[in-house]
């Protein structure tokens, strides 16, 4: 499919992106657009630079010593690496949820959600904060389960609940984009399906980019799918194919994609 | 990789090839029965349809299990979906052979016309060729072979149109009219077998390209890709 046929409104646009750890190049010439209010899944074998790719979107890649990139990343049309752009501001607008739920264990459920706001210097009357916490927990599908124990420790929640708490913490900041790096791979099947349902709901308000090893998960929830892999031994990873998810899983254009999604690579 | 999936796909393909071979046998036998007014052979064709139906059920159940357990995607998914269609088309061809056998039983006491029956035999030979071509094209994923089915089908369609004309010229006695009416159905059965073979060919094109298209439109004209 030609780029022009995709939904025109790109929330995230990656242009000729390359990424390095020291002298080792891990990504090369990655260009594609992640459309607004959709779920884009990034699939590919281990070591194909999927996590590195999404970490360049919210400037977390550069946190690793020696890590650098070339090319550009645009969120809502603005270069996140532009002159004078504060990485902290980028990370507020581009939220991230990780593989292992990482709530602050010593904090209460309430404070976990409010923490993002406080860390970003957002202060206001208690009533306003209460409202944001409630809305975020509702948005993450957790409110009904925790509303009577907001002051208790987040450590007592189940894995699936903790992951939804992390989603609540991320959306409390009203980001434009939500990056999810294997958000369900540490969860049981039922909690996984809840997170998947949540993604479909959340895309109404946010643009979601998910890295997943679970191809069926990509097939179930993503509107668009990007397949990344290393085409030659030792070479940096390429974006092999990006298309609507149904095209990737019914009639992929590239043999490499077909071999991967049908489980016949290697 | 994915040995279980591949094994099941291979098994389903083998069942379809067997089913097609049984349909070809049924067609040859039912035509022999019609030509020789061999009622025993006609009965054998009717009984033998169970063997075709058994393959049909096995493919159906195999596909159901494979979809539930293996989650096929991309070309694997298209192959499985195409198998479902091919299975149905083969089973229907088998049913048409049974119908011809029953018509043979019903017309055995009537005097027919050898020339017209010879015409049916020629249509049937053409239909047998189409069945082999269709299943081979499916197994080898050969689009060119599958598209050649349209030309083969043309000959059957033309013969079918001639039969009506010949039957009308046959005579107006009650026996002639009954024989003629029943033979119109035989002609129709053969013509439909050809159509189902073309439909199998369309599944080959879908399997290979991922795009479903009819080879001919409702008027029988070839459909060209724009």
For A85-143, the pLDDT digits (tens) are: 999 999 999 999 999 999 999 999 999 999 988 887 777 888 999 999 999 999 999 99
A153, A105 contact by CB (below 8 A):
yes
Which chain A residues are within 8 Å of B74, Cβ to Cβ?
248-252, 257-258, 261-262
As a whole number, mean pLDDT of residues A20-35 equals: 97
pLDDT tier for residue A1 given thresholds of 50, 70 and 90: very low
Q: Which of A7-11, A165-169, B213-217 has the lowest mean pLDDT?
A: A7-11
Q: Tell if the CB–CB gap between B210 and A251 is shorter than 8 Å.
A: yes
**Residue A207 pLDDT > 50:** yes
At B220, is the pLDDT very low, low, confident or very high (cuts 50, 70, 90)?
Answer: confident
Overall CATH class of domain B3-209: mainly alpha
CA distance B76 to chain A (A): 7
Asked if B161 and B98 count as a contact pair (C-beta separation under 8 A), the reply is no
**Has residue A2 got a pLDDT over 60?**
no
Nearest to B13 by CA among B73, B80, B69: B80
Establish if A199 touches chain B: CB-CB under 8 angstroms.
no
Please compute the mean of the pLDDT values over residues B134-140 and round it to a whole number.
98
Q: Rounded to a whole number, what is the distance in Å from the CA of A243 to chain B's nearest CA?
A: 13
pLDDT of A3 reads 44
**B213 and A CB contact within 8 Å:** no
Please tell me which residue, B129 or B4, carries the higher pLDDT value: B129
Average pLDDT over residues B132-157: 97
Give the SS3 label for residue A106.
Answer: coil
Residue with tokens 């013969």: B159
| Cβ pair A249:B78 closer than 8 A | no
Please tell me the CATH superfamily of domain A3-100+176-261, with its number.
P-loop containing nucleotide triphosphate hydrolases (3.40.50.300)
Asked if A125 is an interface residue toward chain B (Cβ–Cβ < 8 A), one would say: no
**CA–CA separation, A56 and A50 (whole Å):** 10
**Of the partner residues A249, A265, A266, the one whose CB lies closest to the CB of residue B73:** A249
* Contacting B residues, span 53-72, partner chain A, CB-CB under 8 Å: 71-72
Which pLDDT score is estimated for B169?
Answer: 87
CA distance A51 to A96: 11
Whole-number pLDDT of residue A204: 94
The closest CB to that of B2, out of A216, A248, A263, belongs to A263
Q: Which residues contact B89 (CB under 8 A, 6 or more apart)?
A: B196, B197, B199, B200, B203
Contacts of A251 in chain B (CB under 8 A): 74, 78, 210-211
- Give the pLDDT mean for A34-48: 96
Looking at residue A168, its pLDDT comes to 96
> Is A263 at the interface with chain B, CB within 8 A?
yes
What H or E segment, with its residue span, contains residue A230? Answer: none
pLDDT of B20 higher than 70: yes
Closest residue of chain A to B74, computed from CA coordinates: A250
- Residues 6 or more apart whose CB falls under 8 angstroms from that of A250 comprise B73, B74, B77, B78, B210
Query: Is the Cβ of B76 closer than 8 Å to some Cβ of chain A?
Result: yes
Count of beta carbons in the 10 Å neighbourhood of residue B173:
11
Subunit contact A250:B72, Cβ cutoff 8 A: no
Q: What was the pLDDT predicted at B69?
A: 85
Q: How far is B80 from chain A (nearest CA, A)?
A: 12
- Closest by CA to B208, choosing from B19, B60, B74, is B74
A239 three-state secondary structure: strand
Sequence-distant (6+) residues with CB within 8 A of A70 are A16, A17, A18
- Average pLDDT (A232-258) is 95
**Residue A147 pLDDT more than 90?**
yes
**Chain B interface test: which of A214, A245, A250, A258 (most B C-beta within 10 Å):** A250
What's the confidence (pLDDT) of residue A116? 83
Shortest alpha-carbon distance between residue A143 and chain B (Å)? 35
The pLDDT value given to residue A7: 46
CA distances from A184 to A43, A161, A189 (A): 14, 11, 9
What pLDDT is stored for residue B226 in this prediction?
Answer: 52
Best mutation target, B74, B77, B209, B211, to test chain A (most A CBs within 10 A): B74
Mean pLDDT across chain B, nearest whole number?
94
Asked if A260 has any chain B CB less than 8 Å from its own CB, the reply is no
pLDDT at B144 over 50: yes
Tell me the ipTM for this assembly.
Answer: 0.75
For residue B50, what are the contacts with CB-CB under 8 A and spacing of at least 6? none
- Cβ of residue A215 closer than 8 Å to a chain B Cβ: yes
Mean pLDDT for B35-59 is 98
Q: CA of A205 to nearest chain B CA: how many angstroms apart?
A: 30
CB burial string B34-59: b at 16+ within 10 A, e below: bbebbeebbeebbebbeebeebbebb
pLDDT bin (cut points 50, 70, 90) of residue B3 is confident
Whole-angstrom CA distances from B184 to A173, B12, B36, B218 are: 76, 35, 18, 21
pLDDT of B224 reads: 64
Q: Residue B68's pLDDT is what?
A: 86
Higher pLDDT: B225 or A4? It is B225
Quote the tokens at residue A245: 């998810």
Average pLDDT value for residue range A63-79: 96
Distance, CA of A182 to CA of A57 (rounded, Å): 16
Distances (CA, A) of B63 to B11, B66, B73, B78, B170: 10, 5, 13, 12, 48
Q: Is the pLDDT of residue A158 over 90?
A: yes
The alpha-carbon gap from B93 to the nearest alpha carbon of chain A, in Å, equals 29
Question: Smallest CA–CA separation between A250 and chain B, in Å?
Answer: 4
The interface residues of chain A toward chain B in range 217-236, judged by CB-CB distance below 8 A, are: 219
Which residues contact residue A166 at a Cβ distance below 8 angstroms, ignoring those fewer than 6 apart? Answer: A97, A98, A101, A102, A103
Residue that wins the pLDDT comparison between B130 and B214: B130
Reported as a single tens digit per residue, the pLDDT across B79-126 is 999 999 999 999 999 999 999 999 999 999 999 999 999 999 999 999
Report how many Cβ contacts below 8 Å link chain A to chain B.
35
- Give dist(CA A264, CA A191) in Å, integer: 29
Closest partner CB to B73 (pick from A219, A265, A266) = A219
Residue contact A263–B210, C-beta within 8 A:
no
Q: How confident is the model at residue B50 (pLDDT cuts 50, 70, 90)?
A: very high
Name B140's Cβ contacts closer than 8 Å, sequence gap at least 6: none
Confidence class for position A61, pLDDT limits 50, 70, 90: very high
The residue count for chain A: 266
Q: What is the 3-state secondary structure (H, E, C) of A35-63?
A: ECCCEEEEECCCCCCHHHHHHHHCCCHHH
Structure confidence at residue B225 as a pLDDT band (50, 70, 90) = low
At residue B1, the pLDDT reads: 67
B174-210: pLDDT as tens digits: 999 999 999 999 999 999 999 999 999 999 999 999 9
Query: Are the beta carbons of A251 and B78 separated by less than 8 Å?
Result: yes
Cα–Cα distance for residue pair A260/A266, rounded to 1 Å: 9
Mean pLDDT taken over chain A: 93
Cα angle B181, B186, B188 (rounded to 5 degrees) comes to: 95
């Amino acid at each position: 499919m030609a780029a022009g046929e995709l939904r025109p409104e790109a929330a995230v646009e990656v242009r000729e992106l390359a990424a390095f750890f020291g002298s080792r190049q891990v990504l090369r010439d990655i260009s594609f657009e992640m459309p607004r209010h959709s779920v884009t899944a990034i699939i590919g074998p281990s070591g194909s630079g999927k996590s590195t790719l999404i970490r360049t979107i919210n400037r977390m890649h550069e946190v690793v010593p020696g890590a650098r990139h070339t090319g550009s990343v645009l969120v809502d049309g603005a270069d996140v690496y532009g002159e004078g752009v504060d990485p902290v501001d980028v990370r507020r607008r581009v939220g991230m949820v990780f593989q292992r739920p990482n709530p602050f264990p010593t904090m209460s459920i309430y404070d976990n959600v409010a923490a993002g706001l406080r860390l970003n210097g957002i202060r206001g009357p208690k009533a306003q904060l209460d409202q944001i916490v409630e809305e975020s927990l509702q948005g993450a599908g957790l409110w009904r389960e925790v509303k009577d124990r907001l002051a208790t420790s987040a450590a007592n929640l189940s894995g699936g609940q903790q992951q939804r708490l992390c989603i609540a913490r991320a959306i409390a900041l009203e980001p434009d984009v939500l990056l999810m790096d294997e958000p369900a791979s540490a969860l049981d099947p039922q909690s996984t399906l809840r997170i998947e349902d949540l993604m479909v709901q959340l895309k109404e308000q946010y643009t979601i980019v998910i890295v997943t090893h679970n191809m069926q998960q990509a097939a179930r929830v993503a509107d668009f799918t990007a397949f990344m892999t290393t085409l030659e031994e030792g070479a940096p990873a390429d974006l092999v194919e990006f298309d609507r998810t149904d095209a990737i899983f019914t009639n992929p254009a590239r043999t490499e994609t077909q071999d991967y999604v049908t489980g016949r690579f290697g | 990789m994915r040995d279980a999936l591949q094994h099941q796909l291979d098994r389903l393909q083998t069942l379809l090839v067997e089913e097609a071979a049984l349909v070809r046998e049924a067609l040859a036998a039912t035509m022999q029965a019609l030509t020789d007014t061999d009622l025993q052979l006609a009965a054998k064709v009717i009984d033998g349809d169970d063997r075709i139906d058994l393959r049909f059920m096995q493919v159906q159940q195999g596909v159901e299990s494979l979809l539930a357990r293996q989650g096929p995607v991309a070309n694997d998914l298209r192959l499985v979906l195409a198998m479902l269609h091919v299975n149905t088309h083969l089973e229907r061809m088998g049913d048409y052979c049974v119908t011809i056998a029953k018509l043979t039983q019903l017309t055995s006491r009537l005097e027919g016309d050898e020339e017209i029956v010879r015409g049916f035999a020629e249509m049937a030979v053409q239909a047998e060729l189409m069945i082999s071509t269709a299943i081979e094209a499916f197994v080898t994923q050969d689009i060119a072979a599958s598209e050649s089915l349209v030309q083969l089908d043309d000959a059957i369609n033309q013969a079918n149109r001639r039969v009506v004309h010949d039957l009308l010229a046959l005579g107006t006695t009650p026996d002639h009219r009954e024989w003629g009416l029943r033979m119109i159905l035989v002609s129709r059965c053969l013509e439909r077998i050809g159509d189902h073979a073309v439909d199998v060919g369309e599944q080959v094109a879908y399997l290979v390209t991922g795009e479903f298209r009819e080879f001919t439109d409702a008027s029988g004209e070839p459909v060209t890709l724009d």
